[in-house]
Structure 1
Amino acid sequence: MSRDQGGRSDAGRPKRTPTGRGPAKGSGPGKPVKGSGPRFAGSTKSSQPTRLPARKPEPQVDVHDPDGVRLQKLLAAAGVGSRRTCENLISAGRVEVDGHVVTELGVRIDPNRQKVHVDGVRVQLDESRVYLAFNKPLGVVSTMNDDLGRVSLADYVGNRPERLFHVGRLDSDTEGLLLLTNDGDLAHRLQHPAYGVPKTYIARIPGPVPRDLGKRLREGVDLDDGPVSVDSFKVVDSQPGKALVEVVLHEGRKHVVRRMLDAVGHPVESLVRVQVGPIRLGDLKSGRTRRLTQDEVGRLYSAAGL
């Protein structure tokens, strides 16, 4: 055996390994594929990752209206924050006009034509728009003009200069939260079941409440004008012979809560609406109104998909 084949004794000389030029002495039959390493089915000749085409930048949209009002001034007037705070929001890219981020402080817009969002929440800039929460008392009918001379909404808000819409209705024997506004588009969406804005009621019913009542109501109850189901149901309080239950649904049919509970053997003794979408009745006294905050209006717009 030669000294090369047996390997030299001096450790400084490495053994030769196969390269792309061909097999080394003593290697097995067959030529190695150029470029070491096994190949897998479906692999390409190049081991470099595939480069995706560069994404084209979105076209710049000019939302500036030279005859409009400075954006930061409108935001401050709408109660978003101080002028300085609103400028910081714009610079940070947190303000959108008509769906486009605005970062320049000199932008002017038309508040009656253009839509503004801050952190994704709609800001109502039109100062002529009114949004009220009203705690409707028992015996008041949900109309602005009653031909029968009954106590109506006009007796509480009829002296206001705006033409107000009531968002949905409450029966005369149902009390609680009713939203009033002159924003017709928002009012339509909030009361239309297609937009799924939930309404929450507290009902007093005869007890005891069976454990499967919530399941039955969620699965649906057949009424004379079609089936109805609740979004959620829970027992708030229970005493001998009576119970308070919370019912959440987005239906707007007449007497729907009363008819549904009556159909399952628990007729309503009293009914109060305590919430519409994100707006809660809270501690608002019966017969009183309050203006919704800018944040509440923004959340109503989000609930209505505007």
Structure 2
Amino acid sequence: MTGSEERLVKFLSAAGVASRRAAGDLVKAGRIAVNGRTIREPGFRILPADTVTLDGRPVEPAGRFHYIMLNKPRGYVCTNADPHAPRKAVDLIRLDPPVRLFSAGRLDKESEGMILFSNDGDYVARLTHPRYEIRKTYLVRVTREFTEPELTRIRTGITDGGEHLRVISIAPAGNCLYRIVLNEGKKREIRRLTAAVGAPTLELRRIRIGGLALGDLPQGAFRELTPEEVALTLEAHS
């Protein structure tokens, strides 16, 4: 191995093709070729002069990384994979020239608030992998006030569909409104928790990731993060 070699999945992630895990799946599926030869080993190493293709199309090395905060409105989905989705959150972000971006985690269609996008696969992986314990903060309005036993049950956690769901913290924030902190975002986790105690979620808005708050960014608007703000999003215990 030489110092200029690089793992194929790292190259694909840095180029904005997919996260490292998803890039590994692309390699295993035989969709990646190096110098015209199909590669199926995610650990394969390439040199700077090698030509990498995805489904026959060249993959360009990473250029400038973008780190974007979007205030997602309701009604938008956080997927790039469904070409038939009528309203995708990523379509609200318009960069010149265009850049392929990936969401760092998701908000479901009915939810709103802060979501981060980037073409830096390593950054996206750090924000989404549970081992990094990046905390996300939400304001959640439910159909009625929780009782103390219900709050205790939410803090302790419930089992739903074979998954253990629990929050880091939950505290009252207004009339039927609660501030909830998670460090692992299982699918529709908050909605499943509130439904389990008989007070379904009416509104859900993410207001903070790591040490960075949504602030006064208008709904549907986006902006680039500064290097200092990127670092704030990666704070594990804010």
Same-fold status (TM-score > 0.5) = yes
Find out whether 1:213 has 2:150 as its counterpart.
Answer: yes
The structural deviation recorded for 1:145 is 5.1
Partner AA of 2:159 in structure 1: D
Find the residue that maps to 1:200 and give its secondary structure: strand
Find the residue that maps to 1:213 and give its secondary structure: helix
Aligned to 2:222: 289
Aligned to 1:271: 204
Deviates more, 1:155-164 or 1:134-143: 155-164
Structure 2, unaligned runs of 5 or more: 1-61
Return the match for 1:133 from 65, 69, 72. 69
- Check the 8 A contact 1:133/1:180 in 2, yes or no: yes
Rg: which structure is higher? 1
The structural deviation recorded for 1:190 is 0.7
What is the CA deviation profile of residues 196-235 of structure 1, one whole-angstrom value per residue up to 9, with x for unaligned ones? 1111111111223212333221211111131111100001
The structural deviation recorded for 1:158 is 5.2
Find out whether 1:257 has 2:190 as its counterpart.
Answer: yes
Change (3 A) 1:302 1:232: closer
TM-score normalised by L of structure 2: 0.68
Change (3 A) 1:224 1:183: same
Change (3 A) 1:188 1:171: same
- Check the 8 A contact 2:157/2:164 in 1, yes or no: yes
Q: Quick one: distance in 2 between partners of 1:301 and 1:273? A: 16
Q: Quick one: distance in 2 between partners of 1:150 and 1:251? A: 28
Q: Quick one: distance in 1 between partners of 2:142 and 2:235? A: 34
Structure 1, unaligned runs of 5 or more: 1-125
Change (3 A) 1:291 1:154: closer
Change (3 A) 1:302 1:171: closer
What is the CA deviation profile of residues 158-187 of structure 1, one whole-angstrom value per residue up to 9, with x for unaligned ones? 555222110001111101100011111111
- Check the 8 A contact 1:177/1:275 in 2, yes or no: yes
What is the CA deviation profile of residues 4-29 of structure 1, one whole-angstrom value per residue up to 9, with x for unaligned ones? xxxxxxxxxxxxxxxxxxxxxxxxxx
- Check the 8 A contact 2:211/2:235 in 1, yes or no: no
What is the CA deviation profile of residues 26-60 of structure 1, one whole-angstrom value per residue up to 9, with x for unaligned ones? xxxxxxxxxxxxxxxxxxxxxxxxxxxxxxxxxxx
Aligned to 2:178: 245
Q: Quick one: distance in 2 between partners of 1:227 and 1:176? A: 25
Return the match for 1:191 from 125, 128, 145. 128
Q: Quick one: distance in 2 between partners of 1:282 and 1:288? A: 12
Partner AA of 2:132 in structure 1: Y
Q: Quick one: distance in 1 between partners of 2:230 and 2:125? A: 15
Partner AA of 1:185 in structure 2: D
The structural deviation recorded for 1:302 is 4.7
Q: Quick one: distance in 1 between partners of 2:124 and 2:136? A: 14
Q: Quick one: distance in 1 between partners of 2:174 and 2:235? A: 32
Q: Quick one: distance in 1 between partners of 2:103 and 2:133? A: 18
Aligned to 2:89: 153
The structural deviation recorded for 1:127 is 7.7
The structural deviation recorded for 1:264 is 1.2
- Check the 8 A contact 1:237/1:245 in 2, yes or no: yes
Identity %: 37
Return the match for 1:167 from 100, 104, 120. 104
- Check the 8 A contact 1:167/1:178 in 2, yes or no: yes
Deviates more, 1:142-151 or 1:263-272: 142-151
Change (3 A) 1:210 1:296: same
Higher RCO (CA-CA < 8 Å; seq separation 6+): 2
Find the residue that maps to 1:303 and give its secondary structure: coil
Aligned to 1:142: 78
The structural deviation recorded for 1:296 is 1.2
Aligned to 1:43: none
